[in-house]
Amino acid sequence: MAFLFFPSKGIFLSSFLLCFAILSLGAEARRSPSPISSLISKELFDSIFIHKDNNACPARNFYTYDSFINASKRFPRFGTTGSPATRKREIAAFLAQISHETTGGWATAPDGPYAWGLCFKEEISPQSNYCDSTNTQWPCYPGQSYKGRGPIQLSWNYNYGPAGKALGFDGLRNPDVVSNNSLIAFQTGLWFWMTEQKPKPSCHNVMVGKYVPTQADIAANRTKGYGLVTNIINGGLECGIPDDSRVNDRIEYFKRYATLFKVDTGPNLDCAYQKSFQTVA
């Protein structure tokens, strides 16, 4: 940080004290508790993700409670909107979705398949580099892959570009930061959750009851509830398919976490009869 020197010592001193105060406030903000820490303690977080640091998990020791809590400070409306039950339900829904995206469990896994999550931090054996070359607003950088990374498994250049711009990193030139920095990883997940990308509403607005369906949504049977969140995240591949195993997996995670948070799940858990928004996370 550069300081300007003025003839008056008093003016310089005042400027110095002002800068010192700003730095002190920034440090205090980093130390201050997150609004959601009263709803999800480290003990609850650890009981949700019993096996995230298992030796078999490639993301072992990557997804920490502190990183999640600190990332949430960047999005102060997350888990703070509505009644206590609504707030808890939103956090449970977010954690359930990222658990499916980063799972690690299997049918006979210890403690059951839904006691596993946050096991992977990047997509294994991606089928492409996830570059949409038709998107000129967020052009792909040569040699980079926009495969799934982080808790929401952020994919495609049209997500990495705006996420990086919003969070302060170069998502197009350096997408690997999402799988190398735990704080940024959680921030990208929360960025996707909180950000409306028309015609999609934000997952946040859906879970806190602020979603207002358009005529197109009504025609597509996109009803409010957890199923619509799945549609926002990966509807192009999973929705409109009755009894889809991937959708069921997301639902079962949510049921377990809602129980741990001592809230109900709300209605419309699946998207079996919804038309998708096409594009995915």
Give catalytic status of residue 238 as yes or no.
no
Residue 12 is predicted with a pLDDT of 37
Q: Exposed, middle or buried by CB within 10 Å (0-12, 13-18, 19+), for 22?
A: exposed
- pTM of the predicted model as reported, rounded to 2 decimal places: 0.88
pLDDT for residue 235 is more than 70: yes
Under DSSP, is residue 262 helix (H, G, I), strand (E, B) or coil?
A: coil
Separation CA 188–CA 191 (nearest Å): 5
pLDDT for residue 188 is more than 90: yes
Separation CA 140–CA 153 (nearest Å): 18
One-letter amino acid identity for 280?
A: V
Q: When comparing pLDDT for 8 and 52, which is higher?
A: 52
- Note the residue count of the chain: 281
Separation CA 1–CA 276 (nearest Å): 48
Lowest-confidence range among 13-22, 35-44, 60-69, 271-280?
A: 13-22
Residue 19 is predicted with a pLDDT of 42
Out of 90, 101, 123, 238, pick the active-site residue: 101
Lowest-confidence range among 173-187, 235-249, 267-281?
A: 267-281
Note whether 36 and 42 are within 8 A (CB): no
Residue 212: both structure tokens together:
């207002």
Each residue's pLDDT tens digit, 153-166: 999 999 999 999 99
Residue 281 is predicted with a pLDDT of 52
Separation CA 157–CA 15 (nearest Å): 42
Each residue's pLDDT tens digit, 145-155: 999 999 999 99
Residue 34 is predicted with a pLDDT of 77
Q: Exposed, middle or buried by CB within 10 Å (0-12, 13-18, 19+), for 86?
A: middle
Residue 11 is predicted with a pLDDT of 39
- Residue 270 banded pLDDT, cuts 50, 70, 90: very high
Q: Omega into 199 within 30° of 0, i.e. cis? A: yes
Residue 181 is predicted with a pLDDT of 98
> Hey, what domains does the chain have and what are their CATH numbers?
35-121+182-261 (1.10.530.10)
